[in-house]
Chains A and B, each alone.
Chain A
């Protein structure tokens, strides 16, 4: 079955710097790659997603890249702000129901 690995498990950056979180997946049938942000005590919320027919997607300070050949995808946050501090989960899914999640990255943005 699908396996998603996420690195790093914790990431600390200075406010204004960039943050990059990387995920790899094992199932070549996966074609949907969402990223969720979970703030302390709150629900996971989708921040950006990418499908396998594109290599990159941007939304303001957030971007995601996908390398299908290497089976990895990354989340890039530029100009980080303290409110970006949270746990970020990547996931991989296909046309079936199942989303397999990575183990999460705890991002701390230091003011």
Chain B
């Protein structure tokens, strides 16, 4: 009955090799988020979609891109992963923007070798 599903759970990629993480939701929520969480740190918002409108955080590196082809799916593309990009990547959804519960996926742990 998972509502926000992330694939894969674990991803190993080579330094500089493009990688894509995926997220799908069965909640039909308007908003989808991507967070980066490094060890012992708070989740950091990279960007979010409100429907098809893409919103990038000012400090999100250009190396990170996202696609949302439809309501249910959202992808995180890392064009040239560096060692510093190794982290847990969390996808979340919410029914509307602000003031409301965010539903998280289980995350994808990315390792860069």
Contact = CB atoms under 8 A, between A and B. Distances in A.
Interface of A: 4, 6, 9, 31-32, 34, 36, 41-46, 49, 51, 89, 93-104
Contacts of B4: 43
A31 B44 CA distance: 19
Nearest to A36: B104
B97 A34 contact: no
A41 B99 CA distance: 27
B106 interface: yes
A97 B31 contact: yes
Interface of B: 4, 31, 33, 40-45, 48, 50, 55, 90, 97-107
A97 B54 CA distance: 12
A99 B97 CA distance: 10
A102 B42 contact: yes
Which of B31, B98, B99 counts the most chain A CB atoms within 10 A? B99
A50 to B, nearest CB: 11
